[in-house]
Amino acid sequence: MFSEAVKIEQRVEEGKGITTLRFPMGAKVRPGQFLMVWIPGVDEIPMSVSFIGALAGITVKEVGEATRALSLMKEGDVLGLRGPYGNGWQLPPGRVLCVGGGVGMAPIMTAAEGMADRTRVDVAIGARNAGEIIFEGRARRASDDVRTTTDDGSYGLKGTVVALADQMMREKRYDVVLGCGPEVMNRYLLKACKQHSVPCQLSLERLMKCGAGLCGSCVIDGLRVCADGPVFTGEQVERMTEFGRWKRDDAGLRVSL
């Protein structure tokens, strides 16, 4: 665990409203872990590490004030980082299907690259439209079988990424599925994996304040997404009564998703 201030060295626009920021970082990170990213004067929010290595990176999608401020940062600007936090993926031996929805590709991509064997890992990339498909080139360098889908059919197949994953599981035998995306996607992906009897791991999101396993704001049932997750096994997720239905607000009150 560390806290450090870093200077942004590279800024890349990956897609519509989706930006990657790269910076040198001292800490060692495992695929699927995240950082608490401080935008001085604005906010501090959780971001998956989307690039691992000497020039680390995060990939942010604009959804509100903090993500907008982060997206607008320039080369040379300073970010505060703490972490890495969370468990990360369990990368098992065997064949892996990586499924990313939208900016959910950020932690998925580090998993695919972490496998370091393009014959063992396939990637399904989904987004709402062509502008939001990210990391396709990177995925093709890490995998022999990369397929894309968009909700509106503007790129790749038309349909959801879960339908695509379902199709791939029908065609090929996988030992594990890794998934990250909106909660509805995760929910249907879990269902599809069950139907095909393929174990899965899902990276989940909840409101985070401390990121360090203390404050309890990120809990789903009794599990802290920041410390016990963000990656949970399909069995763990199936036992969660709040998954797909409830989240907690800033005050810790249960509200529907």
Partner 1 sequence: MTTSLETDICGTRLRNPTMLASGVMGETGDSLLRVAEAGAGAAVTKSIGLEPRRGYPNPTLVELEDGYINAMGLPGPGIEAFGEEMSVALKGGIPIIGSLFAAIPEDFVTLAVRMQEYGASAIELNLSCPHAKGYGMEVGVDPEAVASIVRQVKAAIDIPLWAKLTPNTHRLLDVAKAVEGAGGDAIVAVNTVKAMAISVEARRPVLFNRTGGLSGPAIKAVGLRCVYELYEAVDIPIIGVGGAETSRDVLEYLMAGARAVQIGSGVGRRGLGVFQAACGGLLRYLEEHGLNSLSDIVGVAHVQ
Ligand X SMILES: Cc1cc2nc3c(=O)[nH]c(=O)nc-3n(C[C@H](O)[C@H](O)[C@H](O)COP(=O)(O)O)c2cc1C
249 binds ligand FAD (CB under 6 A): no
Cβ atoms 146, 125 nearer than 8 A:
yes
Segment contacting partner 1 by CB under 8 A, of 25-33, 38-46, 161-169, 231-239: 38-46
Cβ atoms 35, 85 nearer than 8 A:
yes
Short-list 44, 52, 45, CA closest to 22: 52
Which of 159, 199, 213, 244 touches partner 1 (CB under 8 A)? 213
Residue ranges with strand state E in 116-180: 121-127, 145-150, 157-158, 176-180
30 binds partner 1 (CB under 8 A): no
Which residue ranges make up the site for ligand X (CB under 6 A)? 210, 214-215
Q: Select 26 or 252, whichever has its Cβ closest to ligand X.
A: 252
Short-list 181, 200, 182, 183, CA closest to 192: 200
217 binds ligand FAD (CB under 6 A): no
Give the nearest distance from C-beta 40 to ligand X in angstroms: 21
Footprint of ligand FES on 225-244 (CB under 6 A): 226
Cα–Cα distance, 37 to 162 (Å, whole number): 30
Cα–Cα distance, 117 to 68 (Å, whole number): 36
Question: Which residues would be at the binding site for ligand FAD (CB under 6 A)?
Answer: 34, 43, 45-48, 50, 58-61, 63-67, 103, 106, 205-206, 208, 230
